[in-house]
Structure 1
């Protein structure tokens, strides 16, 4: 089972005991625009998701890891998605629970997943899509070495308005 350890956090696979945390994150309507969700998930559906979360990234084309502290308490989630082995790239998404923000967990998690993606998965690049107005995410990804490479104009329709989406990339030039 995959576990990546940092100085203050670890990234680990989803466990059945994470169900309440996952329900709270996935069913928080304030976050739905980040994942293009438009309806709540049932406990049953998310339990099935956890049961199948051990599927290999090469099969599932995604990997969701829990950001946890030394007591194994879930602090957030970090995902590799749209995994494309042929083109050696994947998207990165991250969410840290509101009660655990501004403590350095997000940058540590992002750096750990970048190292894993570039060394173990041998990816050439990671990318992230960040909504207009999400300055904390822009800052986080820039701090981790990502660069804004394009803007998707009026890409997302949120709350009756269209908003731009910023595309960030981190390219691994060491092979």
Structure 2
């Protein structure tokens, strides 16, 4: 498997996944997500150095996950993480591999100081995923967001390069192509 940057050819699949209730129910965006708008978003962000969007794929080219890092401020050197896994193949460890590679990309290639995430208090799978990689729960944002007309808490998780459990997987970083491959 390898982590590579998102490409225009991935956008129709991205739209399909984002319109699946198993994805959008925990991601805080509302369908319908339209391909035309996603293409425009992609074109507008091609050269945006405050984000990096990824695909984890098999060596044969099957897309398994999509993820990304976004930043509001270049000076702080921290980026927010997001991940979504092909909804038909969830719970197979692909999120863990994606998050691990994404963090490596942030620390090794982008030279980011910290990766962080906001995770809903009832999203136990994501909390466990981030903790298993080395993220630490740093705070609680009380009644921060809504789901089904009810307010819920969100947790703030953070990870520095020294927190990342680099022994989880064997990998190779290709700095020229900006790809990371599992060995």
**Same fold? TM cut 0.5:** yes
TM-score calculated relative to the size of structure 1: 0.82
Q: Select 2:131's aligned residue among 142, 150, 172.
A: 142
Residue 122 (structure 2) aligns with:
133
Residue 13 (structure 2) aligns with:
21
Residue 154 (structure 2) aligns with:
165
Q: What displacement does 1:132 show?
A: 1.6
Q: Distance in 2 between matches of 1:54 and 1:72?
A: 21
Question: 3-state SS of the aligned residue for 2:71?
Answer: strand
Question: 3-state SS of the aligned residue for 1:113?
Answer: helix
1:65-80 correspondence runs (5 A)? 65-80=54-69
Query: Bigger CA drift: 61-70 or 16-25?
Result: 16-25
TM-score calculated relative to the size of structure 2: 0.79
Q: What displacement does 1:30 show?
A: 4.8
Count residues with an aligned counterpart.
163
Q: Distance in 1 between matches of 2:21 and 2:97?
A: 26
Question: 3-state SS of the aligned residue for 1:84?
Answer: coil
Q: CA RMSD in A?
A: 2.0
Question: 3-state SS of the aligned residue for 2:38?
Answer: helix
Q: Distance in 1 between matches of 2:27 and 2:65?
A: 15
Q: Distance in 1 between matches of 2:25 and 2:92?
A: 24
- 1:13–1:54: 8 Å Cα contact kept in structure 2? no
1:112 aligns to 2:101 (yes or no): yes
Q: Select 2:71's aligned residue among 79, 82, 88.
A: 82
Query: Bigger CA drift: 63-72 or 14-23?
Result: 14-23
Q: What displacement does 1:32 show?
A: 3.2
Q: Distance in 2 between matches of 1:128 and 1:88?
A: 14
1:32 aligns to 2:32 (yes or no): no
Q: Which has the higher contact order (CA 8 A, sep 6+)?
A: 2
